Amino acid sequence: MNETVVVTGGGTGGHLKVADAFIEEFHNRGINVIFIGSSNGQDKAWFENDKRLEKAIFLDTRGVVNKKSFGKVLSLLNIFSKTMQCLKLYSKYNVKTVISVGGFSAAAATFASILKFGCKLYIHEQNSKMGKLNEITSKFATDVFSSFDENSLVKDYPVAKEFFNTARVRDKIKTIAFFGGSQGAICINDFALKVAPRLNEMGIKIIHQTGKNDFLRVKQEYEKLNIKADVFDFSKDIPTKMSSADFAVSRAGASTLWELCANSLPTFFIPYKHAAGDHQYYNAKALFDKGLCFLKREDELNADEFFEIINSDIHKISIELISSINPNAISLIINIILQNNKK
């Protein structure tokens, strides 16, 4: 029987983008892949009818971290039950390799890989601050890959090729993009509307991803200001939107951060202040400390400082961003995994 690889994790877009990159690379190499996620996050929307997969399984699992004591017990019992289910699946499909991209969706499949004799666990940690599940399970992993860990065998982040293919060096700011993510960010939306009139006077065009919940309000506000902006709630063509911009204002989730780097797009990061372990701030700070981005917390936002920033030397940053990330991260990681599995 041919070996089948399991890719597990998700819940939110950042984890799922990395899961997708692994699935694509394994599929291109002719290796069978099963995806194990949760029925309670975005996992189904991404992979339910994915033809690249031998099987997609969505377990009724939920996060444990923010639960009160009784809720935690119920969640843990549920994870134990689903772990047993995964163990049976591993035996049926001869699974000897599990790749976890983190998030609560990964719990059962990851624990099952630890319990199964001869099964190797590999972890990809997206953020500068390790998530709780990865923190617990990393000591059992054959390898842990992270862009923020000096000990990682591959430090580059798995980013879709489209972001590299549409990259260009920026010289002058003619268009600014505001990215709040698919869920949106009211803080970024409000800041964009605050600076929009002056940007309009300067002849700078605006691209603005608002998120679904705030789309109508933001669109109407631009209309009241009589500003023609490219306003949208969600787009599957973010690489093109990025490529059209000369500067960005964005949250600092790991996937978005490295996509902006891959596109050589100088960015002003406004981290989500309630992110677990303040990881968005530390994600951006790793770049900021190298002089590769601009960074302010939500409560430090100042319009005058923002206009000073967009008048600075973005050309230098754009050039240096080219060497901040390589396009073959996922290929290198999978080469290491397959080499290890031969031992």
Residue 343 lies in a domain: no
Residue 206 shares a structural domain with residue 259: yes
pLDDT in tens, 234-274: 888 899 999 999 999 999 999 999 999 999 999 999 999 99
Across residues 98-104, what is the average pLDDT? 92
Per the domain annotation, does 153 fall within a domain? no
Per-residue confidence (pLDDT) for residue 71, from 0 to 100: 63
Confidence grade of residue 103 (pLDDT, cut at 50, 70, 90): confident
> Once rounded to an integer, what is the mean pLDDT over residues 49-73?
77
The identity of residue 150, as a single letter, is E
Q: What is the pLDDT of residue 121?
A: 98
pLDDT of 4 above 90? yes
The mean pLDDT of the chain is 92
pLDDT at position 332, please? 97
pLDDT of 72 reads 62
Pair (169, 130) in one structural domain: no
Q: Give the Cα-Cα-Cα angle 73, 79, 84 (nearest 5 degrees).
A: 130
Tell which residue, 299, 290, 233, has the closest CA to residue 266. 290
- Of 71 and 39, the one with more pLDDT: 39
Who has greater pLDDT, 198 or 1? 198
For residues 183 and 214, membership in a common domain is answered with: yes
Is pTM beyond 0.75? Reply is yes
Q: Do 142 and 166 reside in the same domain of the chain?
A: no
| Residues 142 and 167 reside in one and the same domain | no
Summarised one tens digit per residue, pLDDT across range 323-342 is 999 999 999 999 999 999 88
Decide if 303 contacts 268 (C-beta within 8 A). no
- The predicted model gives 14-40 an average pLDDT of 94
Nearest-angstrom CA–CA distance, 95 and 276: 32
Q: Indicate whether 135 and 170 sit together in one domain.
A: no
| Range of the structural domain that residue 243 is part of | 162-322
Take residue 256 and report the two structure tokens written for it: 């978005």
Mean pLDDT of 62-75: 60
Query: Does residue 154 sit within a domain?
Result: no
Tell me how far CA of residue 96 lies from CA of 141, 301, 309, 331, 340, in angstroms: 13, 49, 50, 19, 12
Residue 268 vs residues 49, 99, 188, 286, 299: alpha-carbon distances, Å: 37, 32, 11, 13, 14
Residues 57 and 190 in one domain: no
Lowest mean pLDDT among 178-187, 194-203, 318-327, 331-340: 178-187
Number of domains into which the chain is organized: 2
How far from each other are the two terminal CA atoms of the chain, in whole angstroms?
19
Task: Over range 58-72, report the average pLDDT.
Answer: 66
Q: What is the pLDDT of residue 336?
A: 97
Q: What is the CATH number of the domain that holds 92?
A: 3.40.50.2000
Q: What is the DSSP letter of 39?
A: S
Asked if residue 213 and residue 256 are part of one domain, the reply reads: yes
Joined tokens for residue 59: 């377990």
At residue 12, the pLDDT reads 81
Per-residue pLDDT at 63: 58
Asked whether residue 175 is domain-assigned, the answer is yes
